[in-house]
Amino acid sequence: MDVLQSIVTRRPMFLRYDLNFSSPQVEDLLSSDDGPGFRIMWMYGIPDRLIVTFARMNMFLEDFGVCVDPNVVQAIEKEIEGCGRIAWSGDGNTSTRMLGKITAHECWRLAAYVYLYMGLCGANSYDPRVVGVQKAFMRVLGGVKPTRYPDSFMVIPMFILGMATNTKDQHVLLARLGGVTECSRPGTMANDIMRMLISVWVHAEGRPISWSDLRPACLRVVGM
């Protein structure tokens, strides 16, 4: 939760994390769907391996701002690419549920690219890299019907991709977010996230969105 809260509020994490794997076997276990790990997947839909990547980006952002070595950026790109689709295991998974899991996984992976380019590299929503990822996300999102599952797992990815969206796609994201019960329930994190995104869009109308637009929106909506 510390890692994700830092992303959506543009505030430093409360803790510093040792993100070095003690052995290749530990990394393999973390990347496995049925292995031990942080098991954040069941709550937020984010693969365990990818939460480590987000934490790594947060720490680089805290330490260097947007002045990150290009070699570091390339290494993180490869790390995100390495979090590709995985083979899901478990009994009783219907094809619909399987598709939902794969969709949530891919949406989180695309969100990681946007956070890398906009949050860590300082690119805006008109940057070709960001535009390409945003279009890919909308294709993935359009491939599944609006239902609680997997949409409830994609609230934060939709928020992150919303930071990359200046186009007519805004109403598509808003409709998907509005279909998640928690987003329409005041006092929930999901509702705050949706209102923050709307605030960013309103204040950035007619210009590219930058990740720096997030901090004022957070202050306006939740006062922190």
Confidence at residue 32, expressed as pLDDT on a 0 to 100 scale: 58
pLDDT per residue as tens digits for the range 141-172: 999 989 888 899 999 999 999 999 988 899 99
| Residues 6+ positions from 149 with CB-CB distance below 8 Å | 97, 100
pTM of the model: 0.89
Average pLDDT in the chain: 88
Considering only 147-151, 213-217, 218-222, which range has the smallest mean pLDDT? 147-151
pLDDT per residue as tens digits for the range 91-134: 455 577 778 888 999 999 999 999 999 999 999 999 999 999 99
Confidence at residue 93, expressed as pLDDT on a 0 to 100 scale: 53
Domain boundaries, the chain: 2-222
pLDDT per residue as tens digits for the range 86-98: 555 544 555 777 7
